[in-house]
């Protein structure tokens, strides 16, 4: 406790860091307040059915990412997910379309153009998702809940929802520029954390009613801590490749007395594969207009995250996207070229194409266990529900929510640690080596 107070004191002494932290907290407060601003024309006292609909299933997950704005019929109801979906599409275009490939190589100017295209695509996605959300409101809420009706309500609400998400994007960019941490990631994290007290309260109440008692609740908390510890290891990955490959990859070459290592990680893709897969799993629900429990057939099977086929497909997609995204950020050909230019080599392997093939083989081998572990953590909430844990509290036993929480916290602490070390203050760890994600939401 004494050390923690000392760290807080050191943080307060650094004016720039103090200003950035307070600025970030202020922006996050604005976002949280906005999530309670109901769309004009809706009676906020008649949202019971909507809250009941979003208490579980895929819509419960959407509500968690929006920090409860979805169930509040807020102007921020669609949250930041449309922007993430647009970012994913642009990244995929960067693989297949030469124009986007050129932009990625143009440095800062290319990045600005890509960001602008991403914003335009976000608006298009919003105009597709907003009508589905409004249709769902008409199904879930009684007619008396709508003060305004007809086209006036639909058109004004579409623009409100679109403007709300764009405003959230702007808040995220402001945090990134003038605050601490990545703005988009922090906004998602705050939305998830906001649901934790309600989820824990529901689970606590159910245990008090006799469903296992407080002993079972204690076991659940201990298990949750184990999952969190595993998620931290998964997000951080490993700095070096396995020992059996290290000597072959590194060789005996040293530069300035420092041995050179190739930065291969078991989980180089971070949480991006799980976000890619989750975005695809949302599509059936969005197509049927947030039908929820009224959905049938294919849509019903993929509207319940506890169903077998949902989790099976989710697990497979995560493995596929882990390899896909690792191939994007870890280019064996580029790594082989850089080794050749810098005089590096792999003993017994020819420079150039052979080196690239060798690195690609090693990456494929070490990515497999990371992708499987990522998939297991992703489907953990389904198993938590099956053993009797409350639907809302189960979301924190793995999945996208837990991995994002862990990754964002580590990234933010890493930035604060850097400020402290630069000013010669002790940080959160004695070594000063908090490791964040190699990639994730922050890469968008």
Rounded CA-CA distance 138/55 in Å is 18
Q: How confident is the model over 54-106, as pLDDT tens digits?
A: 776 677 777 887 888 888 889 999 888 888 888 888 877 887 788 888 887 78
What are the b/e assignments for 288-322, b being 16+ CB within 10 Å?
A: bbbbbeebeeebbebbbbbeeebbebbbebbbebb
Contact 67, 192 (CB under 8 A): yes
CATH architecture of 2-443: Orthogonal Bundle (1.10)
Contact 235, 403 (CB under 8 A): yes
Contact 324, 274 (CB under 8 A): no
Q: How confident is the model over 254-280, as pLDDT tens digits?
A: 434 444 556 667 777 777 787 778 777
pLDDT band at 370 (very low <50, low <70, confident <90, very high): confident
Helix (H) or strand (E) holding 255: strand 254-255
Rounded CA-CA distance 122/116 in Å is 10
pLDDT value at position 251? 41
Which of 26-35, 40-49, 216-225, 423-432 ranks highest by mean pLDDT?
A: 26-35
Is this structure's pTM higher than 0.85?
A: no
Domain extents for the chain?
2-443
Q: Taking the CB of residue 106, how many other CB atoms lie within 10 A of it? A: 12
């Amino acid at each position: 406790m004494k050390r923690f107070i000392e760290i807080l004191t050191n943080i307060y002494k650094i004016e720039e860091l103090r200003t950035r932290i307070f600025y970030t907290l202020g922006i996050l407060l604005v976002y949280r307040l906005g999530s309670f601003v109901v769309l004009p024309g809706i009676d906020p006292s008649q949202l019971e059915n909507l809250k009941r609909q979003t208490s579980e299933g895929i819509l419960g997950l959407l509500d968690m990412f929006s920090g409860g704005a979805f169930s509040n019929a807020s102007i921020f109801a669609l949250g930041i997910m449309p922007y993430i979906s647009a970012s994913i599409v642009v990244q995929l275009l960067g693989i297949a379309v030469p124009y986007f490939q050129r932009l990625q190589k143009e440095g800062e100017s290319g990045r600005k153009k890509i960001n602008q295209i991403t914003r335009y695509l976000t608006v298009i996605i919003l105009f597709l998702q907003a009508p589905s959300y409004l249709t769902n409101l008409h199904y879930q809420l009684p007619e008396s809940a709508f003060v305004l009706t007809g086209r006036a309500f639909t058109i004004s609400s579409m623009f409100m929802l679109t403007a709300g998400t764009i405003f959230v994007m702007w808040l995220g960019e402001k945090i990134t520029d003038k605050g601490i941490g990545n703005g988009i990631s922090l906004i998602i994290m705050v939305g998830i954390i906001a649901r934790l007290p309600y989820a824990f309260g529901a689970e606590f109440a159910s245990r008090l009613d006799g469903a296992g008692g407080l002993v079972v609740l204690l076991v659940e908390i201990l298990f949750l801590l184990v999952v969190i510890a595993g998620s931290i290891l998964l997000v951080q990955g490993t700095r070096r490749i396995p020992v059996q490959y290290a000597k072959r990859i590194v060789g005996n070459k040293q530069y300035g007395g420092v041995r050179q290592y190739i930065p291969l990680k078991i989980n180089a893709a971070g949480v991006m594969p799980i976000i890619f897969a989750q975005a695809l799993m949302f599509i059936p629900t969005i197509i049927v207009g947030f039908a929820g429990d009224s959905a049938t057939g294919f849509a019903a099977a993929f509207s319940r995250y506890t169903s077998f086929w949902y989790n099976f497909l989710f697990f497979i997609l995560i493995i596929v996207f882990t390899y896909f995204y690792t191939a994007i950020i870890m280019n064996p050909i580029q790594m082989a070229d850089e080794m050749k230019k810098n005089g590096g080599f792999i003993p017994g392997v020819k420079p150039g194409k052979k080196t690239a093939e060798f690195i690609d083989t090693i990456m494929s081998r070490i990515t497999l266990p990371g992708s499987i572990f990522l998939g297991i953590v992703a489907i953990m909430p389904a198993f938590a529900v099956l053993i009797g844990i409350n639907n809302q509290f189960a979301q924190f036993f793995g999945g996208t929510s837990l991995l994002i929480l862990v990754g964002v916290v580590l990234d933010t602490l890493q930035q604060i640690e850097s400020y402290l070390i630069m000013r010669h203050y002790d940080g959160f760890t004695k070594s000063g080596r908090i490791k964040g994600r190699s990639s994730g939401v922050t890469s968008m």
